[in-house]
Chains A and B, each alone.
Chain A
Amino acid sequence: MKIHIKGGRLIDPKNGIDAARDLYIAAGKVVAVGEAPKGYAANRVIDATGLVVCPGLVDLAARLREPGFEYMATLESEMEAAVAGGVTSLACPPDTDPPLDEPGLVEMLKFRARTLNRARVYPVGALTEGLKGERLTEMAELRDAGCIAFSHADAPLADNQVLYRALQYAATFGFHVWLRPHDTALARNGVAHDGQVATRLGLPAVPVCAETVALSTILILTRETGARVHLARLSTAEGVDMVRKAKQQGLPVSCDVGAHHVHLTEMDIGYFDANSHLTPPFRSLRDREALCAALADGTVDAICSDHTPVDDDAKQLPFAEAESGATGLELLLPLTLKWAEESGVKLPAALARVTSEPARVLDIDAGHLTPGHSADVCIFDPARYWKVEPASLRSQGKNTPFLGFELKGRVRHTLVEGQLVYEAK
């Protein structure tokens, strides 16, 4: 299958391209950018006039809910959501039931994902058995089964000795460890940022120090062990500042923020809106502004969807009892574009945060459109508004604080390995 993507604005952050260029695809690969190769005859021409053509998005955190939570979402529904959102590679956290702590589970997930023939799935293995925070998993086995990194998802890892050993062990073999900095004890029972909204509404709070205390521990242990560490879902001004300093001192850490956190604050809880119950909680306006500034200056490497489909039964509860999380795969692109527009960041720099940068964190050959490499492509209409509502979302999870909002940026075509896997009607 030869596909010629014609007349679009090609943005390839990694290769520094932002120009009107045609893209030529054959046998799953990009074969040329700009001029057609000699003798190229396309089977299909996609007219991308007025559209942006960019590398398929790479998402560092998307819960597909299998195995164990099929009542909330299935691989079928979420893989459809991914490509509808222009996401062609995604990492899924290990907090399934059972957690991804055995090679068999990882192989099954990879196999199921491959059969569906949608986005590429990169499982993140559990750092400890059952995510209990006690015994290390067989990381090498998991790595062989297809895990690209190891994490503890949002499960508590209270024992610093276990964390220390896990980092030492991972460092021995060069495994990548992803950690969301949160001190379990300081965050205990908390459901909202420790600020004026939690005070007004009487919601148990998660203080900023729950993030910074854990972050400080992780940074010290990273220095100590030489492990490769990625910091997930930073939420506070103090937190990104600590990472900025660590990076300046040469510590090879990377970090991401959730797409919802780039836009929303504690105020968006309104009158106990359970759709605004996320982990970590939405923080203050000052924190949100610091996250945006850190994204712009490169302290924060990537924006991820932190996609967490939750069914109505688990959300239709008083705020604290409702399950946390928001659906995100289909919002990742529009929310990234919204951030770029509002903070004056140029489109190529913004798209780097959801393509080449997360691909670098994952250490995969994706997130760029270089001839000779796989043709994972997202074609979107940057000016098209669409309304976020249950019917417009393919994900089984309809839970997002953006429900009812009009967002700009709609995906028109998604290609994975040169195959058209999504086409908007």
Chain B
Amino acid sequence: MWLNPANPQLGRDGELHHLLSLEGLPAEIMWRILDTAKTFVGVKMKKVPLLRGKSVFNLFFEPSTRTRTTFEIAAKRLSADVINLNISASSQTKGESLLDTVDNLSAMHADMFVVRHGESGAPHFIARHVAPEIHVINAGDGRHSHPTQGLLDMYTIRHYKKDFGSLRVAIVGDILHSRVARSQMHALATLGCPEIRVICPKTLLPAHVEQLGVHVYHDMRQGLKDVDVVMMLRLQNERMQGALLPSAQEFYKFYGLTEDKLAVAKPDAIVLHPGPMNRGVEIDSSVADGKQSVILPQVTFGIAIRMAVMSILAGAKAK
């Protein structure tokens, strides 16, 4: 194995080989990604040749438009060849195993796999089985992780707030099912954020989440009091079908971000959302489009973050 068994996204030399999760990603690498992303945001976007001649395969086992598109744009701006594979619609339905799919794609001389999968841990599984020269980037797996989203959120916070060491941050909504929330918690903790809060009803709270170093609130007004950053999560419509929540209306009443609730946060608090938004469910339009919202800049930064991750991985050598 050329990978570090204690942290399978790093090589034995401690360098980033895959980006699978923000848990256990050293702060130094996180800062390097954020710094590298800054160099891509600054310049007027022309093509840069960092990934010329490389093939990036977007392996999307779960439908996604936004994330796939931003990865595609990022790879193209780095001059890579991009192949989009919507796998849920092809081989999986024909009964081909995930391992066979990965083996076949590896044989097509891919350099990078960008993987979105409905099962937690699928990118780890793929990373364990690909050839040593292939890099795997997790583009969202089940409820586990969405590292590039977490990183772009950190980039956004850093852009507006500079220092993580004095921030109070609240993450609001469906924590239980959210890979974004998990990535944010790990990233914030790694970058030195002293107070991370999560706000949600008990049905959407994972067990022992406090052990990740967060404070739990069930009341929005208490949880948002004096925070610098509000990170909203998307509430999937399917959550209303089981017994997790009675209705979108009732969720909005208690946990939807309105101007009124946001007023208890610091006056210069910023509001983030990973998109796509459900207006009137988790966030009110007046907030989403308001002056504290940084939701559109998040999208711009997202491309830079993905360029940074891909260029750093392309620079890493397989041992």
Question: Which residue numbers of A lie inside 8 Å of B, CB to CB?
Answer: 194-196, 198-205, 207, 271-272, 313, 316-321
Q: Is B16 an interface residue (CB 8 A)?
A: no
CA distance A198 to B141 in the complex (A): 14
Number of A-B contacts (CB under 8 A): 71
Q: Which B residues touch A207, using CB under 8 A?
A: 207
Q: Is B99 an interface residue (CB 8 A)?
A: yes
Mark contacts of B100-119 with chain A using CB atoms, 8 A cut-off: 1 yes-contact digit, 0 otherwise.
00000000000000000101
In the complex, how many angstroms separate the beta carbon of A102 from the nearest chain B beta carbon?
Answer: 31
Which 9 pairs show the lowest CB-CB distances between chains A and B? A202-B143, A272-B121, A202-B144, A318-B119, A199-B206, A202-B120, A318-B122, A196-B208, A194-B207
DSSP class of A's interface residues: helix, strand, loop or mixed? loop
Q: Is the CB of B179 within 8 A of A202?
A: yes
Q: Which residue of A lies closest to B182 (CB)?
A: A202
CA distance A318 to B119 in the complex (A): 7
Q: Is the CB of B120 within 8 A of A195?
A: no
CA distance A178 to B262 in the complex (A): 56
In the complex, how many angstroms separate the beta carbon of B183 from the nearest chain A beta carbon?
Answer: 10
CA distance A21 to B142 in the complex (A): 59
Q: Which A residues touch B121, using CB under 8 A?
A: 201, 203, 271-272, 318-320
Q: Is the CB of B97 within 8 A of A272?
A: no
Contact sample, A vs B, 27 pairs, CB 8 Å cutoff: A195-B207, A195-B208, A196-B208, A196-B212, A199-B207, A201-B121, A202-B141, A202-B144, A202-B145, A202-B179, A202-B182, A203-B142, A205-B206, A207-B207, A271-B8, A271-B124, A316-B97, A316-B99, A316-B125, A316-B129, A317-B97, A317-B99, A318-B119, A318-B125, A319-B121, A320-B120, A321-B119
Q: Which B residues touch A316, using CB under 8 A?
A: 97, 99, 125, 129
CA distance A194 to B129 in the complex (A): 28
In the complex, how many angstroms separate the beta carbon of A341 from the nearest chain B beta carbon?
Answer: 27
CA distance A200 to B129 in the complex (A): 23
Q: Which A residues touch B141, using CB under 8 A?
A: 202, 318
Known: A271-B8, A319-B121. A198 touches B207 (CB 8 A): yes
Known: A272-B120, A272-B124, A319-B119. A199 touches B209 (CB 8 A): yes
Q: Is the CB of B207 within 8 A of A318?
A: no
Q: Is B211 an interface residue (CB 8 A)?
A: yes
In the complex, how many angstroms separate the beta carbon of B181 from the nearest chain A beta carbon?
Answer: 10
CA distance A318 to B122 in the complex (A): 5
In the complex, how many angstroms separate the beta carbon of B142 from the nearest chain A beta carbon?
Answer: 5
Q: Is the CB of A203 within 8 A of B97?
A: no
Q: Is B23 an interface residue (CB 8 A)?
A: yes
Indicate the size class of the contact surface on chain B.
20 to 34
CA distance A196 to B23 in the complex (A): 13
Q: Which B residues touch A202, using CB under 8 A?
A: 120, 141-145, 179, 182
Question: Which residue numbers of B lie inside 8 Å of A, CB to CB?
Answer: 8, 23, 97-99, 117, 119-122, 124-125, 129, 141-145, 179, 182, 206-209, 211-212
Q: Is the CB of A317 within 8 A of B125?
A: yes
Q: Which B residues touch A272, using CB under 8 A?
A: 120-121, 124-125
Q: Is the CB of B144 within 8 A of A199?
A: no
In the complex, how many angstroms separate the beta carbon of B91 from the nearest chain A beta carbon?
Answer: 15
Q: Which residue of B lies closest to A192 (CB)?
A: B120
Q: Which A residues touch B209, using CB under 8 A?
A: 199
Pick from A194, A271, A313, A318: contact of B117, CB below 8 A.
A318
Q: Is the CB of A313 within 8 A of B97?
A: yes
Q: Is the CB of B8 within 8 A of A201?
A: no
Q: Which A residues touch B212, using CB under 8 A?
A: 196, 199-200
Q: Is the CB of A320 within 8 A of B207?
A: no
In the complex, how many angstroms separate the beta carbon of B198 from the nearest chain A beta carbon?
Answer: 11
Q: Which residue of B lies closest to A274 (CB)?
A: B125
CA distance A320 to B124 in the complex (A): 13
In the complex, how many angstroms separate the beta carbon of B46 from the nearest chain A beta carbon?
Answer: 38
Pick from A201, A313, A317: contact of B120, CB below 8 A.
A201
Report which residue of B125, B182, B209 has the largest number of chain A beta carbons within 10 angstroms of its beta carbon: B125
In the complex, how many angstroms separate the beta carbon of A424 from the nearest chain B beta carbon?
Answer: 32
In the complex, how many angstroms separate the beta carbon of B100 from the nearest chain A beta carbon?
Answer: 10
